[in-house]
Structure 1
């Protein structure tokens, strides 16, 4: 935690100089260390937790993350057709073009779901096709290029441990909780981005319990104690694979993940999602690890239990009064039927940010925000874009 405090103090001191120069009419473009160690200009906020707010350390002003989830790095590299959807963007610089398109919607934050196996090179990932060999180094370089482009467009990036390659399958799936390889993942990712104050970390996408095939009993009942401290045994199969729960792995709790990130010297805010696919935050405050840079991450969907104003008021409200609360995924089975709008109204009343699921050209997905790589919005995308632009500084 000493390195954490020193690094945060360094960022805040630098921000104070910037604010002083800005107040005298001078302008200083911050130059931020990137994953490669090269300094790069960035207009993105330097996110720091202060009490129940996230602030931009450059100015001390509130920073409410609003934006999108950019989906592709979590599955393209495991399916064998590319590192990400950027492979299909051919006009100009793909990363820059995509970043500029998202920024043009009024977003200030992008969440990037990553694949644990593609980053580490485990389970045969990233998968090569008959035309191109793909490597761990190539995957990490593609992620870095996009993070850099997003930062330069003024967007904070949330790096999310989202999935792993499915064993023997072309698809991807989610484990119930972090495993030992997740610790290796975060050691590597946090080391790579510890000097970039415009990056935040999402420790694990969606913790969950596993039911039997008949849905009548738990095969794995994830408790809040295990959520924090680990040690319980979860099925080795992901949530897209059937399981009898007979082969398990020891869960790594969020206290271990947070400690791993901090041990690298990374001081950035860390998002922690709750139980039931990050929809249950009922005991988040009670069990959150001891760290002053944590953000409670909530996934809001109309098909989950915490999907009405009573739950938002009773469960989310007290959290938002204590620590920053971020809706790191927001969507619905039928996004235009009113749920998304109702939730956004509640979020605005409580100063809570939201990241829409999902910026991807998936014609069969009602939650797809765009209909092509250039960022042409779907009807749902127009709703998201309107909300984002409404919150641009005037």
Structure 2
């Protein structure tokens, strides 16, 4: 049984801080050339970091993200059968219908994993087929249209740099850390959404160290490299074998944040830690200097930080300093109690959760739906009940 948290109104001093942040945002836009208008009313919350919490800049009330990951923009475009899972569905309002289906569950946030190459049009992405030509412009327009549809239904959107296409095959994977083209991705994406106050950015899905087929460490991602970059990571993604001999120069989280800010975008930026975003042990020590950062945690029962002892030792003290968001929550068997145990603990510490995954994959026990109309699986029933009762 999850412990529901009421949406509480923050003290006047915090509200004043929110208003000051908004003034700073507007002034920053003026200093950059005056082209950016005041934040638009999208219909959804406008998250801003104030101290250790996210608040809705519209009224200063605490904003606790609760929702799902909406998967397919990260892989369909690389595999050559669509821009996302919505390609080929019947109905002109497919984006709006999908947004309404998610909103009906009572969530307030949707995280959208994106493909770096499909957005940029690099490495032959997005992949066309015999019937449909697909371009990077098509992909960008579809993402932007979906963001608008979600915002219209009152849903905040987290845009996540999740994967990239392989140069030699229509497949996809996740590098250990951002590369130089990741900065091009963020320069373009942040520029596109810089005036949308109902969007947050997730800098890089799951940073990790790399092992070879014999389980030998061939690339150790340190906290220094996580922040500053400059180390050499294998060019192969985590779905390919690697001996670590061919490498690329890593771009650190500080460079990603700086690239986003250089566009004029002031929205919160999520930063996942080491070990596939499961290790936040030194996040506060190495986080870049920015007042709109959120610590992103991926919680799964097969990862090391998967029990109350670790959550109390690592997450609880961090959540007293900065907002912590569970950007992915799931389990090998999501009905065996792990998810509910984590929700009980996280809800009690003011940590929101985004479930993995809103997708109709029959062979995946973490699929929340059995069709795109939002019919829940058994796991989906658990999640929908939690989301429906979150405001009680």
- Would you say same fold, with TM above 0.5? yes
Q: Is the 8 A contact 2:42 2:196 kept in 1?
A: no
Partner of 1:330 in structure 2? 329
Distance 1:369 1:348 in 2: 20
Aligned equivalent of 1:8, options 22, 26, 34:
22
Q: Is the 8 A contact 2:40 2:195 kept in 1?
A: no
Q: Tell me the number of residue pairs that the alignment of Structure 1 and Structure 2 aligns.
A: 367
Q: Is the 8 A contact 1:42 1:153 kept in 2?
A: no
Partner of 1:136 in structure 2? 136
Q: CA separation of 1:40/1:268 partners in 2, compared to 1, >3 Å: closer, same or farther?
A: closer
Structure 1: runs of 5 or more not aligned: 14-32
In structure 2, the residue corresponding to 1:85 is in which secondary structure?
coil
1:238 aligns with 2:237: yes
Q: CA separation of 1:41/1:51 partners in 2, compared to 1, >3 Å: closer, same or farther?
A: closer
Partner of 2:176 in structure 1? 176
Q: Is the 8 A contact 2:209 2:220 kept in 1?
A: yes
- 1:52-91 residue pairs with structure 2 within 5 A? 52-91=52-91
Partner of 1:24 in structure 2? none
Partner of 2:348 in structure 1? 349
Q: Is the 8 A contact 1:7 1:267 kept in 2?
A: no
- What CA deviation, in whole Å up to 9, does each residue of 1:119-152 have, x standing for no partner? 0011000000000100010000000110000000
- What CA deviation, in whole Å up to 9, does each residue of 1:177-204 have, x standing for no partner? 0000000000000000000000000000
Question: How far off its partner does 1:373 sit?
Answer: 1.0
Structure 2: runs of 5 or more not aligned: 1-18, 28-34
Q: CA separation of 1:7/1:321 partners in 2, compared to 1, >3 Å: closer, same or farther?
A: closer
Partner of 1:167 in structure 2? 167
Note the aligned Cα RMSD (angstroms): 1.9
Q: Is the 8 A contact 2:40 2:197 kept in 1?
A: no
Partner of 2:196 in structure 1? 196
Distance 1:40 1:230 in 2: 35
Question: How far off its partner does 1:69 sit?
Answer: 0.2
Distance 2:213 2:266 in 1: 42
Distance 1:353 1:7 in 2: 23
Q: CA separation of 1:311/1:7 partners in 2, compared to 1, >3 Å: closer, same or farther?
A: closer
**TM-score between the two structures when normalised by the length of structure 2:** 0.91
Question: How far off its partner does 1:89 sit?
Answer: 3.0
Q: Is the 8 A contact 2:22 2:57 kept in 1?
A: no
Distance 1:10 1:153 in 2: 28
- 1:239-318 residue pairs with structure 2 within 5 A? 239-318=238-317
Distance 1:146 1:277 in 2: 27
